[in-house]
Amino acid sequence: MGKKNIIIAAMLLSCIAAKGQDKKVYEWEAKPVMHKISSVYAKESAVIILDEANIEYRDEVKSIYVYRSVHRIVKVLDDKGIEEFNKITLPVTNGKTLEYIKARTILPGGKIIEVGMDKVKKTKNEDGTQAYLFAMEGVEKNCEVELQYTERKPISLFGAELYQYGIPVMQGKFSLSVPEKMIFRVKGYNGFPVANDTLIDGTRYYSASVTSVPALHQEAYGNEEAAQMRVEYKLEYLANENPDLRMLTWTDLAKQLFTNYYNISTKEAKATRKYLDQIGVKSDDAEEDKIRKIEDDIKNNIVLNRSLSGEDVAMVDKTLINKTTDEGGLARLYIACFTLADVKNEFGLSTNKFEHPFDESFENWNYMDTYVFYFPNQKKFLTPSSIYYRYPVVPASLLANKGVFCRIGTDGDTKVHADIREITPLPLKESENNIYATVSFTNDDLDPQIEVMHTFSGYCAMGIREAFVLLPKERQKETVYGIVNLSDKDEDVLNYKTANSAFHNYYDNKPLKLSATIKASQLMEKAGPKYLFKIGEVIGRQTELYQSTKRVLPIDIPFPHSEKRIITVNIPQGYKILNPEATRKNVSDKDDNIQPTMGFTSDYKMEGSQMIVTINEFYSQLHYPVSFYENLRKVINASADFNKVVLVMVKG
């Protein structure tokens, strides 16, 4: 979305006439007084006393630049806090320059140790972006670390500030100042208050503050990043152009997408038709067959390189010659192919719901970073840049999230429309992780030997398929051990094989199959005349869900899925099982008014010399309120409790 922002910003600059603003200089207390903190923070590693961000849009004659000034004071309380704040890294990305830095450590006795500019080092992060790094000297328990810096960047029409982290914030302050003729909309999330709007001497000010922001910690099946308290802002109107025209809407985004991606030149169209002939796309193919042929060939043969640059990188004919392109070029290639193959499609953008769930009511384009196609005739989706997925499987980060799709009207309406569409997941039954195990016993010690097959379909195959397609043979064996999880030693895996591992199996949803023969003597113990068979461990170690603190985050299941386990136990001749009922469990969220959306049931039946245990576990809903946590905990722990089931076998 960065390039789009730049294009639109360039058009807007000529429309904004504002007087220059004096640059603010932020000073700190020359003789700071140590802050007192409440005893409620006694168990924290550190507390942010002040987290202040001031954003200024400044007209600098030829262009408008954004100055972001941050002032932060942190009280360090223990060794973990010392480790976290004894050095500071400030990344510099997206055309930013660091205009000003100062930092100091304030010791409990009043001594101040300032960081000299000679101690600030320019470095690079792991992702290659530039950053400033400096050590804070003298950091100890109960000291305070204070930091101020200002960064400058080209005009941005959208922005956001976070005010919630893994440590509490005593006070958070936000201010935004812009030329009078720029009218912004500001929105708080997850408890951040509504900003005030004030006009003073040709400058428009937006401000808000918050106190006592609790720490936000990771919780199982919770998206703490999406739940962080934050404020977002976007340009809404230009008063000197058309004060009634709201800007940067979803319709504007749809039009921008259509202009940038659907305008295919004659040269590009010619190259596309030749390519479609080469990969066997025929006019009388079913639409789904066309989609599959196009996607599979592009993902197998066109290399995605996000670092490419240049005006012709996204040209379809160049992409087909060079066999590589950037993300935008990849999208244009798909669109050219779908259009010329007469595949009805809508191209769109969405967000990563685990980081920033789509908000239809607030048009922040900055987070719209995932390309996605919708096919109206099929009512299914495709992500062009997800090279290890195949239609209709898309990343879990998109499921049940919404996106903006561009659509041309019908019946003579040639306008571009923005469709806000939910990216619906596959039905529950299409994503399964099943286990089929047959247990036999060898020799007089009744050592278990297990023939086991794991199957993965739909979303459950994500990640597993990559391992068996991309890893060398010796690494695949490690993956087998990790999945089967039934052997103490490598040599206990007597053999294994896989089937349907290739990515194209997503098209027909053929399950990835992993079969193995395993010696599992550790699953049997002898106690006098009794043999104790740990049948619960045949399904592999299960997740346990225990949380001693009060649940804070709502519950998010990555994708709808079900798990069936069928365990056939061949009872040795002359033996019987004393406690088969130990395998029976039934837990769900069902009540008198609703159908269950999650559950764990297990039961058994006896057929001659065989005991057949059947387990069904499922999660059909992706999002639950905090109030459902106890239901989820019971279902998850029912599965973990089955791990502990032991069958008692005796002669008789």
Buried b / exposed e along 22-57 (16+ C-beta atoms within 10 A): eeeeeeeeeeeeeeebeeebeebbbbbbebbbbbbb
Buried b / exposed e along 287-302 (16+ C-beta atoms within 10 A): bbebbbbbbbbbbeeb
Question: In 3D, which of 59, 67, 77 has the Cα closest to residue 16?
Answer: 59
Buried b / exposed e along 184-199 (16+ C-beta atoms within 10 A): bbbbbbeebeebeeee
Name the pTM for this structure: 0.90
DSSP-derived secondary structure for 452-514: EEEEE-GGGGTTHHHHHHHS-HHHHHHHHHHHH---SSGGGEEEEEEES-SGGGGTTTPPEEE
Cross-strand bridge partners of residue 402: 422
The Cα 538–Cα 567 span in angstroms is 8
Q: Which amino acid type is present at position 531?
A: Y
pLDDT, position 593: 58
40 pLDDT band, cuts 50/70/90, is: very high
- Whose tokens are 């991309």? That residue is 470
Question: Span 278-295, mean pLDDT?
Answer: 97
Minimum mean pLDDT among 179-188, 233-242, 642-651: which range? 233-242
Minimum mean pLDDT among 128-142, 371-385, 445-459, 636-650: which range? 128-142
Question: Span 450-467, mean pLDDT?
Answer: 95
230 pLDDT band, cuts 50/70/90, is: very high
Going from the C-alpha of 454 to that of each of 244, 436, 448, 565, the distances in angstroms are 60, 7, 18, 9
Per-domain residue ranges of the chain: 2-238, 250-422, 428-651
Of all residues in the chain, the percent with pLDDT exceeding 70 is: 95
Q: CATH classification of 2-238, choosing from 3.50.50.60, 2.40.50.180, 3.40.50.2000, 2.60.40.3140?
A: 2.60.40.3140
Question: Span 576-594, mean pLDDT?
Answer: 86
Please write the tens of the pLDDT for every residue from 141-159: 999 999 999 999 999 999 9
The Cα 24–Cα 20 span in angstroms is 12
Of all residues in the chain, the percent with pLDDT exceeding 90 is: 76
Q: Which amino acid type is present at position 58?
A: R
Chain length of the chain: 652
Question: Span 240-245, mean pLDDT?
Answer: 83
pLDDT at 583 over 60: yes
532 pLDDT band, cuts 50/70/90, is: very high
Cis peptide leading into residue 392 (ω within 30°): yes
pLDDT, position 20: 43
In angstroms, how far apart are the furthest CA atoms of the chain?
Answer: 97
Are 350 and 402 a contacting pair, CB within 8 Å? yes
Going from the C-alpha of 210 to that of each of 50, 164, 512, the distances in angstroms are 10, 11, 51
Please write the tens of the pLDDT for every residue from 586-597: 998 876 557 889
pLDDT, position 21: 46
Are 144 and 74 a contacting pair, CB within 8 Å? yes
Q: Beta strands 97-106 and 121-124: pairing type? A: unpaired
489 pLDDT band, cuts 50/70/90, is: confident
Minimum mean pLDDT among 9-23, 219-233, 420-434, 633-647: which range? 9-23
pLDDT, position 26: 65
Q: Beta strands 561-570 and 433-442: pairing type? A: parallel
* Architecture, CATH, for domain 250-422: Roll (3.10)
Minimum mean pLDDT among 39-43, 194-198, 281-285, 590-594: which range? 590-594
pLDDT, position 37: 92
pLDDT, position 309: 79
130 pLDDT band, cuts 50/70/90, is: confident
pLDDT at 42 over 80: yes
3-state SS of 525-545?
EEECCEEEECHHHHHCCCCCC
Minimum mean pLDDT among 7-11, 397-401, 408-412, 628-632: which range? 7-11
Angle at 173 between CA 87 and CA 29, to 5 degrees: 60
pLDDT, position 1: 41
Q: Backbone phi, then psi, for 81, in 5-degree steps?
A: -65, -40
Angle at 7 between CA 129 and CA 66, to 5 degrees: 60
pLDDT, position 190: 96
- Helix, strand, coil percent content, the chain, rounded in steps of 5: 25, 35, 40
Question: In 3D, which of 537, 520, 542, 541 has the Cα closest to residue 613?
Answer: 537
pLDDT, position 2: 43
Minimum mean pLDDT among 220-234, 291-305, 474-488: which range? 474-488
Helix extents (H) in 21-86: 79-85
pLDDT at 553 over 70: yes
Q: Dihedral angle at the C-alpha atoms of 280, 282, 286, 291, nearest 10 degrees? A: 50
pLDDT at 90 over 80: yes
The Cα 307–Cα 624 span in angstroms is 39
620 pLDDT band, cuts 50/70/90, is: very high
428-651 CATH: 2.60.120.1130
pLDDT at 241 over 80: no
Residue 339 Ramachandran class (φ > 0 left, ψ -120 to 50 alpha, else beta): alpha
pLDDT at 311 over 90: no
Q: Beta strands 598-607 and 610-619: pairing type? A: antiparallel
